[in-house]
Amino acid sequence: MGESWIECVPNFSEGRRPEVIDALRSTIAAVPGILVLDVHSDADHNRSVITFAGPGPATIEAAFKAIRLAAEKINLEEHRGEHPRIGATDVVPFVPLAGTSLEECVALARSLGRRVGEELDIPVYLYEAAATRPDRVNLEDIRKGEYESLRQTIHSDPDRVPDFGPAHLGPAGATVIGARRPLIAFNIYLTTADVAVAKNIARSVRHSTGGLRYVKALGLEVDGRAQVSMNLTDHTQTPLARVVELVRREAARHGVAIDHSELVGLLPQQAMIDAAAWYLQLGHLEREQILESRLEMLRPIAPPGEAAFLERLADATPTPGGGSAAATAAAMAAALAGMVARLTVGKKKYASVETRVKDVASAADGLRHKLTAAIDEDAAAFEGVLQATRLPHTTQAEASARSQAIERATHQAARVPLNVALAAADVAELGAEVAEIGNVNAVSDAATAVALARAGIQAAALNVRINAKTLTDQGPVADWEQALGAAAQRAEMAERRVADALKARAGLA
């Protein structure tokens, strides 16, 4: 598969100087390919959380530049706030989005950690899935005693030697970098200013002191109120509503109540759906019963904003053309694979494979978004070739510049369908898997997904080869052919798996 999207959620020890927070956001947003999704700052915590997403290499670059800027602007010797911290950039988690894996995020975390340690001379500790030692999996264990304690012990205590960088602290402190699943940062404010009550509730709620699994909690004083500050590390295992209700019960024991709650950053849509279903006692709420989800399902099959895509495809114009059609076929295949996976979730008959089909649905969604984007990317790439051919070439210098521009544009016009073929091979394998383990009533849909994915690979390959044929530099063509051959073989294997699944599961519905 080509580049995948990753979420990165760095926490900075600054929540009171807007100019510094804006500079950090601008630095991240300036990296090509990066989307800043959210900025959350808290003056009492003296902390800001910036959520952004992009391809893996871009997220590393954006995080590195932000860490470097934070080291210049934030002095831990002068920093005070309610939230525990050991660094100017306190923690940097990488989170897999649809179509990516936790292992990819581990590799990114370790790569960034090494670079920060070597180039910025900042101590780095790896945590969660990227941890190299069991005593560093939990962030709170690394951050115990905060900056002040670490400053005294980092050079003398073998247990505090960093994974990367020097065994001494400067004013930027240390940074914790890792990889984890999506996390919900959620705060509940109580109808009291007594922080001891919040600390007692946090002790009852968090897993480490006998509370709920996948919940971390602290009791703090924020804005003159007691606050239970929590991280929910797996909302699918410990739902948000269950956490809120336990806090509510524990608060009542102390004679107080919940005043209001606060979301820090973003949360998965499913977490809100699950919470709504719990509070409304909708035991069988399906995603398609939600208006916006149903509209998404029933809207015309066409790229966003292009309801007349097929009309444009039929026009007497070179774009969109075969490359866009290849991406469309593969995107439809991904949508079908995701549909079959979702038709399997929540069925008792398939309880043993529910976790896996949820992963398949997530991966299929990521591939669908990527392939949908490729529909326009392919058209834009070919337009680039046409524009290059229209450049002036009267003089020798102009002719040389035109030839170079055509070469660059043609190279891009080949790369887009190549990436489509590679992503379509991923889709074919997902389709084969849900044909084997998914809802038997939808096995023909899974087979259709594989057929469409294979068609997408074949069509994309035609577009790669027609562009490659005109390149002056044939250097990369052999690698492209090898990649196309591997994608075709994977699709053929997926079709054989589907044929076996259709035979084995016939009559089981």
Active site residue 234: no
Is residue 53 within 8 Å of 7, Cβ to Cβ?
yes
SS3 1: coil
CA angle (90, 95, 98) in 5-degree steps? 160
Q: Sort 280 into a burial class: Cβ within 10 Å, 0-12 / 13-18 / 19+.
A: exposed
Q: Which residue has the tokens 């019963």?
A: 289
For the beta carbon of residue 307, count every other beta carbon within 10 angstroms.
Answer: 12
Active site residue 207: no
E strand intervals along 246-303: 258-264
Q: Which of 90, 274, 376, 378 is catalytic?
A: 378
CA distance 230 to 238: 13
Is residue 236 within 8 Å of 243, Cβ to Cβ?
no
For the beta carbon of residue 504, count every other beta carbon within 10 angstroms.
Answer: 12
Q: Which residue has the tokens 């002036």?
A: 392
Is residue 85 within 8 Å of 76, Cβ to Cβ?
yes
Q: Which of 40, 45, 79, 83 is catalytic?
A: 83
CA distance 311 to 314: 5
SS3 221: strand
Is residue 117 within 8 Å of 123, Cβ to Cβ?
yes
Cα 209 → chain centroid: 31
Q: Which H helix or E strand runs over 231?
A: strand 225-232
CA distance 433 to 488: 17
CA distance 180 to 92: 10
Q: Which H helix or E strand runs over 39?
A: strand 35-42
CA distance 460 to 466: 10
* Nearest partner of 72 among 12, 148, 152, judged by Cα: 12
**DSSP of 59-94:** HHHHHHHHHHHHHHH--TTT---SS--SBSEEEEEE
Distances in Å between the Cα of 455 and the Cα atoms of 40, 92, 325, 370 are 45, 41, 10, 17
Q: Which residue has the tokens 């809100």?
A: 272
Buried b (16+ CB within 10 A) or exposed e, 457-468: bbbbbebbeebb
Residues noted as catalytic: 83, 378
